[in-house]
Structure 1
Amino acid sequence: MIYSKNKTKDEILSLYLQNKANKFVTSGLFKQYSSANTFQNKVKKLETENKKLVKSLEMSNHKLRSFCMKLVQALGKLQNAISNLYIIFEKELVKAQSKLCNHKFAILIQDIKLGLEKLKEFLK
């Protein structure tokens, strides 16, 4: 074997390249897929594999949609619970504020009574 181009034209190929070319040629000559039946069988296998992959993709998409719907429902329940807590907290806050106002008013009344008693003692 010799080089056919470049400046090394008509020189002998290296032993490595000769062996590589020989393996390439012999591997291509004796392949299993040389008949039409083997090609058809290969196509059928690839089609069935493709169908399986499409089916698994559809199942994955279905599971993903189902998970997303569960997530949306859980978020809705969480938002509802938070709004309910806010309403309860707001009611409790109003009750506490009214108690505080009543307590301050009661303290004011006690202070006024105490002041009146001291005024009575002072005037005697």
Structure 2
Amino acid sequence: MKLSLIVAVAVLALAHGSFAQDATDLQKIGQYFEEMKNKMTQDLTEFMRSQDLTSQAQSLQTQLEPLASQVQEQLKTVAASVEEQIKPMAASVQAQIQPMVTEFQKQTKPKPLLRPPSIMT
């Protein structure tokens, strides 16, 4: 009787341990699926945000292209105007400086070396 009681307790303990292991495995599987769901949600959210940013960037580029060409045309006009104003001033400055440059070049031009008088023997 004692032996059958011990065997019955051992069988119950093994069965209970087996069910406990199954419950732990079941919890791990449930946790794995929960993590997978969270990861997929996060990846999908990031993907949607990046798609939204891409479309916003394209929209912004479409809006700014005409503005950029307008600014470029205005800069060309301003550059031409500045050039027209600077050309006469540059010519005037060059006319004033040219005589000084010519004089400087004359002064810095190498002079011929004097030869010593030749001695006739």
User: What runs of 5+ residues in structure 1 fail to find an aligned partner?
Assistant: 1-36
Q: Please state which structure has a larger fraction of its residues in helix.
A: 2
Which one has more relative contact order, counting CA pairs under 8 Å at least 6 apart?
1
Q: Distance in 2 between matches of 1:95 and 1:110?
A: 24
Greater displacement, 86-95 / 106-115: 106-115
Which residue in 1 is equivalent to 2:29? Answer: 65
User: What is the alpha-carbon distance in structure 2 between the residues aligned to residue 58 and residue 107 of structure 1?
Assistant: 72
> Could you say which residue in structure 1 is the equivalent of 2:69?
105
Deviation at 1:103, TM superposition (A): 3.3
Shift of 1:117: 5.7
Q: Percent identity?
A: 5
Give 5+ residue unaligned stretches, structure 2.
86-121
> How high is the TM-score relative to the length of structure 1?
0.57
Show the counterpart of 1:82.
46
1:47 aligns with 2:23: no
Letter in 2 for 1:96: L
Q: How many residues align?
A: 86
| AA aligned opposite 1:62 | L
Q: How high is the TM-score relative to the length of structure 2?
A: 0.58
Question: Distance between the aligned counterparts of 1:57 and 1:101, measured in 2?
Answer: 65
Q: Structure 1 segments of 4 or more deviating over 6 A?
A: 118-121
Q: Deviations over 1:45-67 (max 9, x none)?
A: 10111111111112112111111
